[in-house]
């Protein structure tokens, strides 16, 4: 029993006349008669009683009529959902995120995508850089966001934007009197570095900048995330080089000043995805990311 036979049966059951049912189905009457007979043969029972005026349902036919509309609705729903999934309008998008990335840009991208495709369920996973790379290769996420990731044969790395860097410092610190800070201003001052991770990140970029400018780097604490680092700044443990979006945390007791440094003025935020991923949902999300990236480049040219 296929969907076509069910539609033929439903039309005849509702019209109770082969001629009217055939007209409704835009077909000739003999093929309809053959299809109904084939259906009865397949089920092993009569579905209709033929009468001079048309047909009446048998008890078996009435039982089938009780089920067929639901089956056809389910089939239509399956077709619709399949079509939407094929167009990237429904399904799931698993996104790898990380600490400071969720303070500004990533939520804005996800909000845009959700507004365009509300039927796509977005699942967020907070993962470090190494974990994101592993999750992408194991197909546990579709796309990730991170910084300072080198492209590889199997992964694409696309820059979303470059974010300016600032220095977070206790609001009572003498350096708050300055409009901007240089690496030399932080020579031998207690500094909080993040993320504490084996792969290259902002902490390693800060260390390299201090070396390049001949300043002494005095590491007070190494932590894993931006929130912990800024909380330590608020408690007076030291200063922290971080991204401009960190100011959105608005922790009391913390001030921010732009970092003026030729070798470390900004840091990129990139999206990562598998080179061979044909997902229409991913393609739609990447289109949102690229539109956003072009807008940001126009507003904030380097």
- pLDDT tens digits, 48-63: 999 988 999 999 999 9
For 118-166, give the DSSP string: TTEEEEEEE--HHHHHHHHHTTS-SEEEESS----SSEEEEEEEEEEEE
pLDDT at residue 302 in the model = 61
pTM (whole model) above 0.85: no
Mean local confidence (pLDDT), 88-113: 87
| CATH architecture for segment(s) 161-266 | 3-Layer(aba) Sandwich (3.40)
pLDDT at residue 85 in the model = 73
- pLDDT tens digits, 139-176: 999 999 999 998 899 999 999 999 999 999 999 999 99
Q: Are 112 and 122 in contact (CB under 8 A)?
A: no
Strand pairing report for 143-146 and 91-97: parallel
Which residues neighbour 194 within 8 Å (Cβ) at sequence distance 6 or greater? 99, 201, 202, 203, 222, 223, 224, 225, 226, 228, 229, 240, 242
pLDDT at residue 150 in the model = 86
13 pLDDT more than 90: yes
| pLDDT band, residue 91 (cuts 50/70/90) | confident
299 pLDDT more than 90: no
- pLDDT tens digits, 68-78: 988 888 888 77
Which residues neighbour 224 within 8 Å (Cβ) at sequence distance 6 or greater? 99, 128, 194, 195, 196, 197
% of the chain surpassing 70 pLDDT: 98
| pLDDT band, residue 138 (cuts 50/70/90) | very high
- Please, what is the angle between helix 105-116 and helix 280-299, to 10°? 130
pLDDT at residue 249 in the model = 87
- Residue ranges, comma separated, of all CATH 1.10.10.10 domains in the chain are 3-86
- Residue ranges, comma separated, of all CATH 3.40.190.10 domains in the chain are 93-159+274-299, 161-266
Q: What is the CATH number of domain 3-86?
A: 1.10.10.10
Q: Are 10 and 69 in contact (CB under 8 A)?
A: yes
Q: Is the peptide bond before 195 cis (omega within 30 degrees of 0)?
A: yes
Burial of 250 (0-12, 13-18, 19+ CB in 10 A): exposed
For 25, phi then psi, to 5°, come to -90, 0
pLDDT at residue 199 in the model = 80
The structure tokens 């009435």 sit at 62
CATH of the domain spanning 93-159+274-299, picked from 3.40.640.10, 3.10.620.30, 3.40.30.10, 3.40.190.10: 3.40.190.10
| pLDDT band, residue 195 (cuts 50/70/90) | confident
- pLDDT tens digits, 227-237: 999 999 999 99
Mean local confidence (pLDDT), 77-99: 80
87 pLDDT more than 80: no
301 pLDDT more than 70: no
């Amino acid at each position: 029993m296929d969907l076509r036979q069910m539609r033929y049966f439903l039309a005849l059951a509702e019209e109770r006349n082969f001629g009217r049912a055939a007209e409704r189905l835009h077909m000739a009457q003999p093929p309809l008669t053959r299809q109904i007979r084939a259906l009865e043969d397949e089920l092993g029972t009569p579905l209709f009683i033929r009468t001079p005026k048309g047909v009446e349902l048998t008890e078996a036919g009435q039982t089938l009529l009780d089920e067929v509309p639901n089956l056809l609705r389910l089939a239509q729903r399956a077709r619709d959902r399949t079509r939407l999934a094929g167009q990237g309008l429904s399904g799931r998008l698993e996104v790898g995120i990380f600490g400071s990335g969720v303070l500004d840009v990533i939520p804005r991208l996800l909000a845009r995508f959700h507004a365009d495709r509300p039927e796509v369920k977005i699942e967020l996973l907070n993962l470090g850089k190494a974990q994101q790379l592993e999750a992408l290769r194991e197909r546990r996420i579709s796309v990730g966001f991170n910084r300072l990731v080198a492209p590889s044969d199997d992964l694409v790395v696309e820059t979303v934007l470059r974010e300016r860097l600032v220095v977070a410092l206790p609001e009572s610190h003498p350096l708050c009197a300055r409009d901007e800070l240089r690496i030399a201003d932080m020579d031998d001052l207690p500094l909080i570095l993040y993320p504490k991770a084996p792969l290259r990140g902002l902490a390693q970029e800060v260390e390299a900048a201090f070396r390049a400018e001949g300043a002494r780097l005095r590491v007070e604490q190494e932590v894993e995330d931006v929130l912990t680092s800024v909380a330590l700044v608020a408690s007076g443990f030291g200063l922290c080089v971080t991204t401009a979006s960190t100011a959105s945390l608005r922790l009391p007791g913390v001030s921010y000043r732009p970092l003026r440094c030729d070798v470390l003025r900004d840091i990129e935020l990139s999206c990562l995805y598998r080179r061979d991923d044909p997902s229409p949902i991913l393609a739609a999300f990447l289109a949102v990311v690229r539109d956003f990236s072009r807008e940001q480049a126009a507003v904030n040219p380097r």
